[in-house]
Amino acid sequence: MDAIEKHEGPTYGTFIAVWGVLIFLTAMLVVVSRMGHGPAVFALLTIAPLKAGLVVYYFMHLKYEGLLLKTILVVALATLIIFFALLFADVSFR
């Protein structure tokens, strides 16, 4: 029985802190969306994935998963980003 690791999960304080950060980032999204199209796009495309990453990492418990699942997720996201880059490159040259 000594070989079994005890899994320490997140505390309520962690959930509340992440929730507070998500609320703050949502407020930032609202403020930035009121700006012009130029600088707002980069900020929106930075804040939105950051929020999604926090949700996946803490609320979907990716932080407490093994290396294999994390690696699979990174490879899948990298493939998606490559496909989007190729799509936008193709569309921009038409």
Amino acid at 57: Y
Cβ-contact 45, 33 below 8 angstroms: no
Q: pTM higher than 0.75 for the full model?
A: no
Percent of the chain with pLDDT over 90: 54
The predicted-structure confidence for 24-64, as pLDDT tens digits, reads as follows 999 999 999 888 777 788 888 889 999 999 999 999 989 88
**Among the residues of 1-94, which ranges form H helices?**
12-33, 37-54, 67-92
Confidence (pLDDT) at 1:
47
Tokens of 17: 């802190």
